[in-house]
């Protein structure tokens, strides 16, 4: 029997606990958290949503710089467990809600968020063997790597505040283009930033688009 022993990393100053059953926090994603935090100063009031939150470190690092509530969603009960632990470690448990379920199942119709952070799996199934250390649920994005990203895009379309923004993490600019081409046209991509481990795209509503 293999044991999953808790580990800790420092992520943008936060103590983050996790184990081998969830994705190890990747240092490059601090940039996504810091980008999110910088946007929060100018966005309308309201809670932050993180889709596919894993151990929760990206949303927590963004939320810790504001007074906003944070809603984290993940389909993996172990990830949700660690998000709750990490919210406590960060002293944010009073304003963090960790929801268990699929992106498309656990948001109420009338919920709106000025900022949505999304970190869906984005590795094509045929390529997942290249990442033997990573749990399949965390990285397997289906045939083209975008299957959960499509669900995340639909959730953003439905739940981003009319003056809100989203930051979605994917593997490449080509994936961002393919994802946006598949959407309803109600969102536009304002900027894509590239990092050593992936890309982050900033989306807004496409007024008149």
Interface with ligand SAM (CB under 6 A): 22-23, 25-26, 29, 52-54, 58, 73-76, 79, 102-103, 119-121, 137-139, 148, 151
Beta strand spans in the chain (E): 7-11, 14-18, 48-51, 70-74, 96-100, 113-118, 160-170, 187-194, 199-205
Closest approach of ligand SAM to the CB of residue 202, in Å: 16
Parallel, antiparallel, or unpaired: how do β-strands 187-194 and 199-205 relate?
Answer: antiparallel
Q: How far apart are the first and last CA of the chain?
A: 54
Residue 92, SS3 per DSSP: coil
**Residue with Cβ nearer ligand SAM (69 or 188):** 69
Closest approach of ligand SAM to the CB of residue 74, in Å: 5
Query: Which secondary structure element, helix H or strand E, spans residue 136, and what is its range?
Result: helix 136-139
Closest approach of ligand SAM to the CB of residue 67, in Å: 22
**Residue with Cβ nearer ligand SAM (66 or 128):** 128
**Residue with Cβ nearer ligand SAM (92 or 138):** 138
Residue nearest to ligand SAM (CB): 54
Say how many C-beta atoms besides its own lie within 10 A of residue 16's C-beta. Answer: 25
Closest approach of ligand SAM to the CB of residue 40, in Å: 17
Helix axes 147-159, 173-182, angle to 10 degrees: 60
Closest approach of ligand SAM to the CB of residue 54, in Å: 2
């Amino acid at each position: 029997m293999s044991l999953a022993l808790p580990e800790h990393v420092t992520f943008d100053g936060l103590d983050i606990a996790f184990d081998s059953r969830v994705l190890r926090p990747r240092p490059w994603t601090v940039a996504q958290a810091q980008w999110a935090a910088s946007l929060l100063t100018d966005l309308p009031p309201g809670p932050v949503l993180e889709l596919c939150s894993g151990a929760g470190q990206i949303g927590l690092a963004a939320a810790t710089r504001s007074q906003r509530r944070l809603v984290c969603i993940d389909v993996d009960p172990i990830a949700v467990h660690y998000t709750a632990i990490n919210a406590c470690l960060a002293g944010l448990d009073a304003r963090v809600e960790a929801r268990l379920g699929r992106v498309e199942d656990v948001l109420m119709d009338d919920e709106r968020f000025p900022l949505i952070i999304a970190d869906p799996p984005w590795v094509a199934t045929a390529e997942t063997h290249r990442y033997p250390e990573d749990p399949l649920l965390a990285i397997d994005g289906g045939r083209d790597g975008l299957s959960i990203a499509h669900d995340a895009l639909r959730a953003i379309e439905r739940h981003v505040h009319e003056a809100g923004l989203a930051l979605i993490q994917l593997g490449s600019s080509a994936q961002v283009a393919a994802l946006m081409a598949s959407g309803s046209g109600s969102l536009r991509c304002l900027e894509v930033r590239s990092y050593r481990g992936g890309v982050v795209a900033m989306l807004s509503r496409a007024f008149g688009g």
